[in-house]
Chain A
Amino acid sequence: MIPGTFDYHAPKTLKKAVSLLNEHEDAKILAGGHSLIPLMKLRFAAPAVVIDIGRVSGISRIRISDGHIQIGALTTHHTIGSNARLRRVCPVLPETANEIGDLQVRNRGTLGGSVVHADPAADWPAAMMALRASFEVAGPSGTREVSASDFFVDMMTTTIGDGEILSQIRIPEPPAGSGSAYAKMHQSASGFAITGVAAQLTLDESGNVSAAGVGVTGVAPIAYTASAVEDALVGKAPDEGAIAAAAALAADGVQDANEDHHASGEYRMHLATVLASRALASAAERAKS
């Protein structure tokens, strides 16, 4: 790692971090460092100031209370992936976490860092869309809350302003009769998603879908909510036929699909339908059990 010269700060409170961020021009927040450091190493990013929030307390906890799952932005993928309660309450979260990179990456990388970086192939945004997550953002004049659908603006671009820090991710606790899952094809080199689909289904007493959430990553410049799939399922029994018919709509309306030498846009869009079907099938299975 031979980056350019930078100043380094390691504040202990979120407030201090926010104020440092607003005091300095060209400052970047360092969380787990798995997106920023590689860029700095290549000198593709050369911030004048790095503010390491690794020692900030209170933003690396998982709490489930008052009908919400609250995850601190600094929580590592591994912490989420190994949380037994989440595995019961909202299995798509640990499932997504455990599909990220490799063990070393999961031990360092954070949920907040990933969503703020907004890589078009990152895993978390799919789950965030499917689960209707919202993001608590701290800025110089207090905090604000942004829904996942407003949070991601474009590839590697979010609504987070230059002087703001993501502090918490809030997810509505899935009601009884819910099940969720993540299905992914890995890009063999990076481990990022060529395509990933997160799904959550809630069933009513008669076994029909009362609510559906489907998020897709890897296909478009930002993760998106596959509303056509969700709409097609609500009110129906999640049997094989209904899931297949709904999943077929998983890439509806996608223009400018991502493409590279690992996968064309057409293939990614196709995978969205296959993986949607797989994620929905296992979400339905979990919802029933």
Chain B
Amino acid sequence: MPVAKSVGARIKRREDPRLIQGLATYVDDLQLPGMCYVAFVRSPHAHAKIQSIDTSAASALDGVVSVVTGADVNPDVGGVPCAATDFPNVQVPEHPVLAEDKVRFVGEPLAAVVAVDRYVAQDAVDLVEVDYDPLEAVSDAEAALEPGSVKLYDHFDSNQAFTWDLEGGDVDAGLKEADRVISQRFIHQRLAPNPIEPRGVAADFNAGDEQLTLWSSTQIPHILRTQVALMIGLNENRVRVIAPEVGGGFGCKLNVYAEEAVLGHLAKKLERPVKWMESRRENFLHTIHGRDQLGDVEIGMKNDGTITTLKYNVVADVGSYFQLLTPAIPTLTGLMLCGCYQIRNVSMHLRAAFTNKMSTDAYRGAGRPEATYIVERIVDCVADELGLDPLEVRRKNFIVKDSFPYETGTGLSYDSGDYTIALDKALKNADYEGLRKKQAELRDEGRYLGIGLSTYAEICGMGPSAAMPAGGWESGTVRVDPTGKVTVLTGIKPHGQGQETTFAQLIADGLGVDVDDVKIVHGDTDSVQYGTGTFGSRGTAVGGTAMIMAMEKVKKKVKKFAAHMLEANIDDIELEDDRYVVKGNPERGVSLADVSGHAHRGIDMPEDTEPGLAESHFFEPSNFTYPFGTHIAVVEVDKDTGEVDIQRYVAVDDVGNIINPMIVEGQIHGGIVQGLGQALYEEVIYDESGQVLTGTFMDYTMPKAHFFPRFELDNTVTPTPVNPMGVKGVGEAGTIGSTPAIVNAVIDALKPFGVRHIDMPLRPEKLWRLMNGGESS
């Protein structure tokens, strides 16, 4: 059998049987004796003073256990934390878990009801009388930065949350050097992450043990534990966080929310278990949103298509408060502005604005989709300006294969890449020449086919701790039980990424056991050593590496035992299938179970060797990883209706080595759909007064499977040198790569109508107007 018998195989996800059969345990499945339900009173106003809160009617309702307001809770519970406040001109707002004097966005919680069931709790919420004094609200980020705008925080100078500048090379010199300069405004509309399982928290305090157990649908159990302990004033070792089955997160559960601390506090105060499940409507209002930048780009170019400079002047709408990583997100846009191109002169001037909206934070891609969208739209704009094929402009500016590791203008060091091979493969798979021919033919018939390219590069495997707001390392422990079964404890928190399968594949091959003999434990801070969590396409690239390093330590010890047991030299022991054998003498061998049994018996130990068989490793990555690829979208736009028909979607992604192709494809499928969601459908709309107009799936378009054709996926493999497995991460690639491909395709289709740019989402009416002599409204 080959060494890599499991890695690289399309093994079905081991998580799926329990999910499909309804056997998984989510927060909402938890039932504890005497459990109460919590419901929150939330502001219907975007901006208002709270004059008074009358909880008497709610408290008097049969079945209500407690009603608390900010005045009751805030003295005992610290504010919602932010881990990234080190920015120029920063103004950090206090962020109480329950608003006390003022509410600043629709959906902000200001009181909590505890009742015997969730129906009574909701009835009681309706009985809490709040007297608001509504204030003028500001929901437009640019307007919020105007002098004289209504201010969210009276004691701040303005609504400017912070600023941030980045410059590489000399952008003004780049402008002078240019033959032509064009500018374009890009809007990255606000999106709602919308995991299938909304947030949920349960808490139980054992007064005898002085122990709080907090179940939360989170991506970061360890960070949450630290923060909740600090917020509610318990020693960290008295708080156990369990993230049970988590139904998706997309970054919105990479956070610490008010409800998590309030539930912990209430459980402790009432000494009764409490639970809160977020409704979808609450999720739209009070779970972080993504994107929401608008900015102007100036591009200098040579007549041959060489981009000489890129200047991005941007306003980021961060909403009303800082959540865990709010300020850090738009900076990732700056770092990735050059994409896969040799743009030596690049700058970003960022101003962040407080507005009367929910905070923005990490949503799948987190700052990088914005960068990719800008740079991939720009190369098309340059091609359009110069009358070149967008393909040629890309080739002209690509970072070339021999220059890796490549230092970008923004100060990053790209690990490895070969952008041309992915592009060539995608062109071949799509039959690019044939498509262009077909496009010309159809145009003669009055039909509008568009072909859009996106040759993205993205930053994954987050990341070196020095570059991260809250640590970038990851932990792993590999334990071999006396019977030879393997338990892995990982600091990441998979919530759909399939690491219970891929990690088991790695261990199975690495230690010579069956995949089904490996158990992956995650998401319980009392079981698992401290870790960082799952986000930023880091689970396998960083968490997997920590596990592999721990496994190598175990393996070294196994070999030591095997050598001892087989009376051979340790250097002569090698793993052959599922046996540790003596080189050149394969009939002399032991299994992992043999070794582990011996190691746990504790007698006849090799010299200087401890009994047992478990090792841990904390892995600090030396760099990020940089996956890349080419996506090609083919669309036809109906001139009579403006509807976009996605005819083909061809993607060639390079995410380094692949452990399980099926899981990688699944990640890319989902990613593409979310990217296309932004391009065509999704938008969180706040009106001028700060009211959310898209508070249900009747109004906010969640992309559905039947909107899309079968994606034609392929890949190239350029391993990263950053980790021993050579994996780059794939969680966000599809989302980052796909948005500009489809927008470029639609704009390409509308080229005969003189269209150079259209803002997302590309609603049919907008396109119909552009194709029929009107302005896009």
Contacts and interface: CB of A to CB of B under 8 A. Distances in A.
Given A185-B641, A267-B765, A274-B640, A261 B701 contact: no
Select the residue from B693, B704, B765 with max chain A CB neighbours within 10 A. B765
A119 to B, nearest CB: 11
Interface string B690-723: 0001100111111010110000000000000000
Contacts of B349: none
A45 interface: no
A262 B763 contact: yes
Contacts, number: 50
A190 B681 CA distance: 12
Nearest to B642: A267
A188 B641 contact: no
Contact of B681 (A5, A188, A192, A270): A188
Contacts of B123: 4-5
A264 B777 contact: yes
Interface residues of A, number: 21
B279 A261 contact: no
A185 B643 contact: yes
Nearest to A102: B704
B685 to A, nearest CB: 6
Nearest to B766: A267
A190 B699 contact: yes
A116 B124 CA distance: 33
A190 B119 contact: no
Interface in B727-777: 763-765, 768-769, 777
B699 A189 contact: yes
Contacts of A3: 119
Contacts of B126: 43
Nearest to A270: B768
B120 to A, nearest CB: 10
A190 B680 CA distance: 15
Given A185-B643, A270-B768, A274-B641, A5 B700 contact: no
A185 B643 CA distance: 9
Contacts of A248: none
Interface string A73-92: 00000000000000000000
A190 B698 contact: yes
Contacts of B281: 42
A155 interface: no
B699 A2 contact: no
A188 B279 contact: no
Contacts of B279: 2
A261 B699 contact: yes
B447 interface: no
A189 B701 contact: yes
Interface residues of B, number: 30
Interface string A1-17: 01111000000000000
Given A261-B693, A267-B765, A271-B641, A189 B118 contact: no
A263 interface: yes
B702 A189 contact: yes
Contacts of A262: 699, 763, 765
A185 to B, nearest CB: 6
A39 B124 CA distance: 19
A257 B706 CA distance: 29
B700 A189 contact: yes
B466 to A, nearest CB: 43
A283 to B, nearest CB: 18
Interface string A183-208: 00100111010000000000000000
Interface string B663-704: 000000000000000001100010000000110011111101
Given A267-B768, A270-B768, A274-B640, A188 B701 contact: yes
Contacts of A185: 641, 643, 764
A2 B119 contact: yes
A4 B119 CA distance: 7
A190 B699 CA distance: 7
Contacts of A190: 697-699
Interface string A156-197: 000000000000000000000000000001001110100000
Identify which of A2, A4, A260, A264 gathers the most chain B CB atoms within 10 Å of its CB: A2
B303 interface: no
Nearest to B695: A42
B763 A2 contact: no
Interface in A249-286: 260-264, 267, 270-271, 274
B397 interface: no
B765 A264 contact: yes
Contacts of B122: 2, 43
Contacts of B643: 185
Nearest to A121: B698
Nearest to B703: A188
Nearest to A260: B699
Contacts of B641: 185, 271, 274
Contacts of A260: 699
A267 to B, nearest CB: 5
B675 to A, nearest CB: 16
A155 B158 CA distance: 45
Contacts of A261: 685, 693-694, 699
Interface in B233-287: 279, 281
Contacts of A5: 119, 123
Interface in B89-144: 118-119, 122-123, 126
A109 to B, nearest CB: 14
Contacts of B698: 189-190, 192
B644 to A, nearest CB: 10
A263 B279 CA distance: 28
Given A188-B681, A261-B685, A2 B697 contact: no
A217 to B, nearest CB: 16
Nearest to B761: A188
A275 B91 CA distance: 54
Nearest to A195: B641
A188 B703 CA distance: 8
A264 B776 CA distance: 12
A263 B119 contact: no
Nearest to A275: B641
Nearest to A3: B119
Nearest to B777: A264
B631 to A, nearest CB: 21
A192 B609 CA distance: 70
Interface string B617-645: 00000000000000000000000110100
A267 B777 CA distance: 11
B183 to A, nearest CB: 28
Nearest to B693: A261
B338 to A, nearest CB: 34
A263 B697 contact: no
A78 B565 CA distance: 68
A27 to B, nearest CB: 20
B118 A2 contact: yes
A102 to B, nearest CB: 7
A278 to B, nearest CB: 9
Contact of A263 (B118, B685, B699, B765): B765
Interface string A212-246: 00000000000000000000000000000000000
Nearest to A261: B685
A42 B768 CA distance: 35
A29 B704 CA distance: 31
A148 B698 CA distance: 27
B776 to A, nearest CB: 12
Interface of A: 2-5, 42-43, 102, 185, 188-190, 192, 260-264, 267, 270-271, 274
Given A185-B643, A189-B699, 18 more contacts: A2-B119, A2-B279, A42-B281, A102-B704, A185-B641, A188-B680, A188-B681, A189-B702, A190-B699, A192-B698, A261-B685, A261-B694, A261-B699, A262-B699, A262-B765, A267-B765, A270-B768, A274-B641
5 contacts: A43-B126, A185-B643, A188-B680, A190-B699, A262-B765
The 5 A-B pairs at the shortest CB distance, nearest first, are namely A189-B701, A188-B701, A190-B698, A267-B765, A2-B122
